Amino acid sequence: MAQEASEMAEFAGPETGSFCWTEIAVNDAEKCKAFYSSVFGWTFKDSQAAADGAFAYHEFSTGGGYPAGGLYQISHEICGEGELPPPHFLTYVAVDDVDANAKLAEELGGKVVKGPMDIPNTGRFAIIQDPTGAMLATFKMG
Q: How far apart are the C-alpha atoms of 112 and 121, rounded to whole Å?
A: 23
Q: Which residues contact 71 (CB under 8 A, 6 or more apart)?
A: 23, 24, 25, 26, 29, 32, 33, 36, 44, 57, 58, 59, 60
pLDDT at 3 over 80: no
In a domain, 7, yes or no: no
Range of the domain at 128: 95-142
76, amino acid identity:
H
- Residues 124, 139: contact at Cβ < 8 Å? yes
In a domain, 114, yes or no: yes
pTM for the whole structure = 0.82
pLDDT at 59 over 80: yes
Mean pLDDT (whole number) for 36-63: 84
- What's 56's domain CATH number? 3.10.180.10
pLDDT at 13 over 80: no
33, amino acid identity:
K
**pLDDT at residue 52, rounded to an integer:** 60
Whether residues 79 and 131 share a domain: the answer is: no
Q: How far apart are the C-alpha atoms of 23 and 29, rounded to whole Å?
A: 12
